[in-house]
C-alpha cells in the first residue's frame, strides 16, 4: 500500500488548500504505519503536493521511503490541452526536453537527489504528440544518470504497455480501479501479469464516495463535479449499497472504506493500492485493510452488489 498525495496538494481541484502541518503529519503517520511509498506528481496543484512531500521527507530517513512522482502534465510550457484547474490551463507534454526540465523541478521541490519511481502521468496525444520511443529514450537516459531508478506509466491502455516494452523496461503501471470501476480487469491486469509489471491502483475509494461519509444531500464540487459516480442518481445507488455493507463491516469489525480496500487486495497479488489521506486517522483506517482476510464468498457478494448498480 502506498500513500497518494493528490488531495494533500490542495488547490482548486480540492476546493482550497489544507492545513500544511496536518498534511505533513499525515505523511509521517503513513511511514509510522509501515507505508513506505509516497506518490505525488508535478501536476498536483502545480507542484504544491511535491513541495509538501518534500517537507515531510526532511523528517524521514531517505533510504526508508520510495518516492514516486510523475511527468507529462505541465502549465509553464505548451502541449496538448489537458484540463483547466481554477484559472490555469494544464497541458500534456512528454517531449524529451520537457521531461528533462520537469525531473529537475521535481527533484528540487522534493529536496532529493534521485526519484525512486518516475512515471509518465498521461499518455501523449496530438497535436503535441511525442512517440513513446522518444519518451522512453529520455527516461532510460535519466535512469542511466541516476536521477531516476524505475520507470512507470500511468493511465495507459494495453497498446501503450506493449509499445513501452518494445523500447525498454516498464516496471509499474498506475490505473484507476475500485469496486465501482473494474475495467482494468479485462485486459490490463492479464497483460501486466504476463510481463511481470506491478499494477498500482488509484482512486480505490472513488474520491471519497466509498468512505461512507457522503450523505444523500451532498452536492459534488471541484474534482468530483463531473465524475459519473457522483451524478445524483448514481451517488444515491452507491449510498444504498454501502448501507447493505453494514453486516459485512460488523463481521470483519471494520469501517466501510477499510472493507472497500480489502476487496481490492483480494482480487490479485499483483495489485498494490494507492490510498489517499488528508489526516493521520485516515491513514490508520486505510492500513487496517491489510489485516482483513475477506472470504471468497463475501468478495463475490460485494462484486454482485456493485454489478447490480450498472443494470
Give the orientation angle of helix 256-267 with respect to helix 296-308, to 10 degrees: 110
Four-CA torsion 301, 266, 208, 185, nearest 10 degrees: -90
To the nearest 5 percent, what fractions of the chain are helix, strand and coil? 50, 20, 35
Assign 3-class secondary structure to 27-80. HHHHHHCCCCEEECCCCCCCCHHHHHHHHHHCCCCHHHCEEEEEECEECCCCCE
The 3-state DSSP class for residue 25 equals: helix
Contact 79, 98 (CB under 8 A): yes
Q: What are phi and psi of 223, to 5 degrees?
A: -65, -15
Catalytic residue, candidates 44, 164, 202, 252: 44
150 Cβ contact list (under 8 Å, min separation 6): 116, 117, 118, 143, 171, 172
For every residue of 256-305, DSSP letters joined together read HHHHHHHHHHHH-TTEEEEEE-SSHHHHHHHHGGGG----HHHHHHHHHH
Burial class from Cβ neighbours inside 10 Å (0-12, 13-18, 19+) for residue 140 reads middle
Q: Return the half-sphere exposure (C-beta side, CA atoms, 13 A cut-off) of residue 239.
A: 13
Annotated active-site residue 44? The verdict is: yes
Query: How far is it, in rounded angstroms, from Cα 226 to Cα 122?
Result: 19
Query: How far is it, in rounded angstroms, from Cα 255 to Cα 101?
Result: 43
Active site residues: 44
Amino acid at each position: 500500500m502506498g500513500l497518494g498525495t493528490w488531495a494533500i496538494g490542495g488547490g482548486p481541484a480540492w476546493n482550497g488548500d489544507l492545513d500544511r502541518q496536518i498534511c505533513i503529519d499525515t505523511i509521517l503517520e503513513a511511514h509510522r504505519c509501515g507505508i513506505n511509498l509516497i506518490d505525488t506528481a508535478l501536476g498536483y496543484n502545480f507542484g504544491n503536493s511535491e513541495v509538501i512531500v518534500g517537507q515531510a521527507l526532511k523528517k524521514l530517513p531517505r533510504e526508508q521511503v520510495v518516492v514516486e512522482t510523475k511527468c507529462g502534465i505541465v502549465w509553464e510550457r505548451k502541449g496538448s490541452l489537458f484540463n483547466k484547474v481554477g484559472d490555469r490551463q494544464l497541458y500534456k507534454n512528454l517531449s524529451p526536453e520537457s521531461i528533462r526540465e520537469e525531473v529537475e523541478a521535481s527533484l528540487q521541490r522534493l529536496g532529493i537527489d534521485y526519484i525512486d519511481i518516475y512515471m509518465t502521468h498521461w499518455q501523449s496525444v496530438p497535436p503535441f504528440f511525442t512517440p513513446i520511443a522518444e519518451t522512453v529514450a529520455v527516461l532510460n537516459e535519466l535512469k542511466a544518470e541516476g536521477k531516476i531508478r524505475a520507470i512507470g506509466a500511468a493511465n495507459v491502455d494495453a497498446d501503450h504497455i506493449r509499445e513501452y516494452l518494445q523500447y525498454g523496461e516498464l516496471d509499474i503501471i498506475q490505473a484507476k480501479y475500485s469496486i465501482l470501476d473494474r475495467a482494468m480487469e479485462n485486459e490490463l491486469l492479464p497483460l501486466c501479469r504476463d510481463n511481470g509489471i506491478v499494477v498500482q491502483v488509484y482512486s480505490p475509494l472513488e474520491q471519497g464516495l466509498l468512505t461512507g461519509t457522503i450523505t444523500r444531500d451532498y452536492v459534488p464540487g471541484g474534482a468530483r463535479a463531473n465524475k459519473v459516480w457522483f451524478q445524483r442518481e448514481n451517488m444515491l445507488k452507491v449510498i444504498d449499497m454501502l448501507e447493505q455493507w453494514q453486516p459485512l463491516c460488523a463481521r470483519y469489525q471494520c469501517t466501510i472504506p477499510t472493507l472497500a480496500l480489502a476487496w481490492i487486495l483480494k482480487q490479485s497479488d499483483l495489485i498494490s493500492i494507492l490510498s489517499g489521506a488528508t489526516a493521520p486517522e485516515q491513514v490508520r483506517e486505510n492500513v487496517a485493510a491489510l489485516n482483513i482476510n475477506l472470504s471468497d464468498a463475501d468478495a463475490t457478494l460485494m462484486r454482485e452488489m456493485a454489478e447490480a448498480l450498472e443494470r
